[in-house]
Structure 1
Amino acid sequence: MFLEFLVWFLLLGLKSVASQQEDVGFTYNGFQGVNMSLDSLAQITDNGLLMLVNNTNQQVSHVFFPHPIHFSNSSTGNALSFSTTFVFAIGKTRFGGPGMAIVIGTSREFPDALPSGYFGHFNMTNISKPSDHVIAIELDCLQNKEFNDIDGNHVGIDINDLKSVQSAPASYFSDKENRYVNLSLTSGQPLQLWVEYYGAENQLNVTLAPINVPKPTTPLLSLKIDLSQYIVDPMYVGFSSATYLLPISYYVLGLSFKMNGEARELTLSQLPKLRQTRHKMRPRLFIVAFSVIGVTSVLISIFILQFIAKKKKKFAQVLEDWKLDY
């Protein structure tokens, strides 16, 4: 009897631990004091903004929840349901940038990843390989023909590749207007993204909207896919981003995640405020402007001196010797 009770107790304990592992959840309304795994340019600002990259060119950055998460059922191997939502903002720019992505991967580190269009989690040799085990939702601000991007302002579902299995221009479905309303990822304004996977239905939904709009009932992307073949337990969830030739910044204001359930809604009033900074002219522009002005001034001065010299020479020729004394 004692042995049976002991076995039952141990099994109950293991089941409880497994249940806790499978039901991991966290909600961050800002990141002040939050323990996140940061690398490269990533940092948490004084007011709690998670800044993935700053204006440094050709760099990569990663931010991950520091603990591994079990994304599959230990007995069946099937991918579990999960849900996440986050509020982000991409610095206002006319020329776009590579963008950012929320990533589920086997590691928090991508040491050989490239910047620019590779989003900081792939390179030319490891892309599009079954061994990658990378699931990502990209917020792409730069059209890359190499990866069949539809435009320079879209949302895509990436599986072990940067050629999205499904993508759509950044927009949200307005229930009031009964149509999709276009959005700009690089407007500098906060936007909210929801990613939901239903394990029983093998359904992955991605929804985008401005933060002042309730979650649309119709997702932007809806894909029938079994993630079980891409999951290797345990895995990490976080963000990956990269910069290109032009300066741009990516921010995450809040993040909520839940295994086997719906992620808790973010409290928008508690999110940190974006710093409203005016775009200043780069020093290079000042250098070019002053160089043009300087060269123009020199040319005008030379022209005036030549004009005066010719006039003096002309008048000197009409003066006779006896007039010079006067």
Structure 2
Amino acid sequence: MIGHMLCHLLPILFLGHGLLGSLVAGGSDGDQFVYTGFTGADLTLDGSATVTATGLLELTNGTTHQKGHALHPAPLRLRGSPNGTVQSFSVAFVFGIVSSYLDFSTHGLALVVAPGSRSLSSALTDQYMGLTNAQDGGKATNHMFAVELDTVQNLEFHDINANHVGIDINSLSSVLSNDAGYYHDKNGSFQNLSLISREAMQVWVDYDGVTMQIDVTIAPLATVKPEKPLLSCIYNLSTVLVEPSYIGFSSATGPGNSRHYVLGWSFGMNRPAPVIDITKLPKLPQLGSKPRSKVLEITLPIASAALVLTVGTVLILLVRRRLRYTELREDWESEFGPHRFAYKDLFHATEGFKDKHLLGAGGFGMVYRGELQKSRVEVAVKKVSHGSKQGMKEFIAEIVSIGRIRHRNLVQLLGYCRRKDELILVYDYMSNGSLDKYLYTEEEDDPTLDWAQRFRIIKGVASGLHYLHERWEKVVVHRDIKTSNVLLDKEMNGRLGDFGLAKLYDHGANPQTTRVVGTTGYLAPELVRTGKATPLADVFAFGTFLLEVTCGQRPIKQDEQGNQFLLVDWVLQHWHGESLLEAVDPRLRGEYNSGEVRLVLQMGLLCAHPSAAARPSMQRVLQYLDGETPLPEMTRSDLSFNMLALLQRKGLNVMSCPCSSTMMSSVGTISDLSGGR
């Protein structure tokens, strides 16, 4: 049994805001602490995490693509002896998620026990919640136990929905999860909770060191802890956690501006966590206008006062109306006038960017459906945070240049608008949405695509890329080719969209070194190494795209043991084993042209070759697809991909594939990999 405090500190009473943040010594059978607000609390903070003036622990501050960690400074003494088992412990905390949208948030937060802040330093933002990354997720060496409160459904982690609680062991693929809610003590009925309701809620996490049972319970703030836990499972944490381990919170944002808060927190070793006094907790910030107080009665007898009030109200409304539509314009933008939209028009087109028009979250921004009032043209409006003014003139110039591109397989970029710290891009609206939703449907009744449709989409995207690389007046490198950026028009034709990352340069010129951006699983190894975006880097991503569309699987796969590896290696194994057709999407039910399927899979392997020199140009790809040129005979030496030694000599990280050879996966080590500006 542990017989001394986590830290030799006396309880501290903070009176500045009427909040208590204290560390309480336990008796001979354990340690404990309790924070009622965090004013003056000695926490280990990193990333965007901070303590606000009112005593809130703010993990994220509304900035996009940020992560924040807050750990208790003293390590937990989990084991009674060096070789002992993890003892019983109990945690309680009060949290709140404040998002600009009542039905959309990115992303959630998690209670975590891990070896320390250094072990979380390589974790990524967005869906990784600051806990892990694409390369290390699922590894036993993470020694991580977490309880996630997740507000986004990520299919790669097998999330059940966008409002769930999960128990995580070394990975964000939960060992057990359930809809957020609690069981009523009297009748046992399940009461749903919305994690993004902007209301404070309390969570209890209990581990029994004898039975190895983990219980997780959640309830509204004013509700007594329900008797029946939301989640309950048996897992021996002695096989997971090591000493020293630290306990705390992790959170991350994606393209949305959510804020994640902890209001209070308590911990008990070999005893229940101390009760948190909810009457002393700080308040969550409120978004929007406060309710009007009934201070004035309608009995004001003085007509002059009524007149002043009326005139003042009119003036305020006029000022607010003007500010609502205020745009950011600079002198150099005059030359781009025809390509600039008025913010007022976009505001009305989307009914004030209401949630009901939200199509989803693209890279670095939110996308809305709208209809321009004058022309009745349907558009997709993407709001992008651009923060810094550096390079904005060049970026706008590129956007306007791309807006002049016309091709049947490219989504038309219509123009832009700037307002405050936002850049707004306007595209043609594609009524059938993105390709990925047809590939990764979970329900048998959901629409999918037959092989003829997929092959037509593949040829369309290839045609669009060929135009960008070789036929237009400048070389355009898209830099973010993936199924979610391929949109389907009314006739289900594939159109490549989202040019927010595209780079332009003159034909015959050398591309400049630039910031490495893109999406994990699609990045060419030479791009990660040199930072130069070339058409052959797009060809690499297109090769991955070919395999994804044909196999109906994501670029990064995960086996039953939780090991992650690249789809290209899995297809390569089938090619070596002469079982290539076994890699085809089973939802096609064998109804496909085997010759076309073999052509596409082999071409996908060729395009995704680690050596850029081995990849074909998009012109040659079109010739292969149209049957004008036969695909070259490929040998084992051509497609061995036995590149481990070569990649290590080049200084690239690798991810080993348990099924065949080793392929590069430096893609998971870049911090800018979420696609979009």
| The two structures share one fold, judged by TM-score above 0.5 | yes
8 Å Cα contact 2:176/2:233 also seen in 1: yes
Matched residue, 1:102: 111
Name the SS for the 1:241 alignment partner. Answer: strand
8 Å Cα contact 2:34/2:266 also seen in 1: yes
Query: Which letter maps to 1:141?
Result: T
Task: Please list the CA deviations of residues 159-208 of structure 1 after superposition, one character each: whole Å capped at 9, or x if unmatched.
Answer: 00110000000010011342110000000000000000010111100000
Query: Which letter maps to 1:290?
Result: K
Query: Which letter maps to 1:35?
Result: D
Matched residue, 1:62: 69
Number of aligned positions between the proteins: 284
**Aligned equivalents of 1:184 and 1:252: distance in 2?**
16
**Aligned equivalents of 1:166 and 1:22: distance in 2?**
30
8 Å Cα contact 1:22/1:69 also seen in 2: no
Label 1:202 to 1:274 Cα distance change in 2 as closer, same or farther (>3 A). Answer: same
Query: Which letter maps to 1:82?
Result: F
Name the SS for the 1:251 alignment partner. Answer: strand
Matched residue, 1:89: 96
**Aligned equivalents of 1:48 and 1:90: distance in 2?**
16
Query: Which letter maps to 2:81?
Result: S
Q: Could you tell me which of 193, 196, 205 is aligned with 2:203? A: 193
8 Å Cα contact 2:115/2:245 also seen in 1: yes
Matching of residue 131 in structure 1 with residue 131 in structure 2: no
8 Å Cα contact 1:21/1:69 also seen in 2: no
Label 1:15 to 1:68 Cα distance change in 2 as closer, same or farther (>3 A). Answer: closer
Label 1:107 to 1:15 Cα distance change in 2 as closer, same or farther (>3 A). Answer: closer
**Aligned equivalents of 2:85 and 2:2: distance in 1?**
17
8 Å Cα contact 2:92/2:265 also seen in 1: yes
Label 1:284 to 1:111 Cα distance change in 2 as closer, same or farther (>3 A). Answer: farther
Matched residue, 2:191: 181
Matched residue, 1:33: 40
Label 1:95 to 1:74 Cα distance change in 2 as closer, same or farther (>3 A). Answer: same
Matching of residue 164 in structure 1 with residue 166 in structure 2: no
**Aligned equivalents of 1:240 and 1:277: distance in 2?**
23
Matched residue, 1:236: 246
Report how far residue 23 of structure 1 moved: 2.0
Q: Could you tell me which of 20, 31, 41 is aligned with 1:24? A: 31
Matched residue, 2:58: 51
**Aligned equivalents of 1:107 and 1:46: distance in 2?**
26
Computed over aligned residues only, the root mean square deviation of the Cα atoms, in angstroms, reads: 2.8
Report how far residue 284 of structure 1 moved: 9.8
Label 1:166 to 1:120 Cα distance change in 2 as closer, same or farther (>3 A). Answer: same
Matched residue, 1:289: 343
Name the SS for the 1:95 alignment partner. Answer: coil
Task: Please list the CA deviations of residues 25-74 of structure 1 after superposition, one character each: whole Å capped at 9, or x if unmatched.
Answer: 10011001111111111111111011100110001110000111111221
Name the SS for the 1:32 alignment partner. Answer: coil
In percent, how many aligned pairs have the same letter? 40
Label 1:132 to 1:291 Cα distance change in 2 as closer, same or farther (>3 A). Answer: same
Name the SS for the 2:117 alignment partner. Answer: coil
Name the SS for the 2:243 alignment partner. Answer: coil
TM-score (norm 1): 0.81
**Aligned equivalents of 1:285 and 1:227: distance in 2?**
55
**Aligned equivalents of 1:261 and 1:15: distance in 2?**
12
Matched residue, 2:279: 269
Query: Which letter maps to 1:138?
Result: E
140-149 or 121-130, which deviates more: 121-130
Name the SS for the 1:117 alignment partner. Answer: helix
Name the SS for the 1:131 alignment partner. Answer: helix
Query: Which letter maps to 2:256?
Result: L
Query: Which letter maps to 1:55?
Result: G
8 Å Cα contact 2:111/2:148 also seen in 1: yes
8 Å Cα contact 2:2/2:31 also seen in 1: no
Matching of residue 113 in structure 1 with residue 123 in structure 2: yes
Name the SS for the 1:290 alignment partner. Answer: helix
8 Å Cα contact 1:22/1:70 also seen in 2: no
Name the SS for the 2:75 alignment partner. Answer: coil
**Aligned equivalents of 1:165 and 1:265: distance in 2?**
28
Task: Please list the CA deviations of residues 7-29 of structure 1 after superposition, one character each: whole Å capped at 9, or x if unmatched.
Answer: xxxxxxx9855997972210011
TM-score (norm 2): 0.40
**Aligned equivalents of 2:28 and 2:106: distance in 1?**
37
Where do 5+ consecutive residues of structure 1 fail to align? 1-13, 300-326
8 Å Cα contact 1:22/1:71 also seen in 2: no
Matching of residue 72 in structure 1 with residue 79 in structure 2: yes
**Aligned equivalents of 1:15 and 1:88: distance in 2?**
29
8 Å Cα contact 1:143/1:150 also seen in 2: yes
**Aligned equivalents of 1:286 and 1:21: distance in 2?**
64
Task: Please list the CA deviations of residues 218-245 of structure 1 after superposition, one character each: whole Å capped at 9, or x if unmatched.
Answer: 0000011111010211200000000000
Label 1:292 to 1:271 Cα distance change in 2 as closer, same or farther (>3 A). Answer: closer
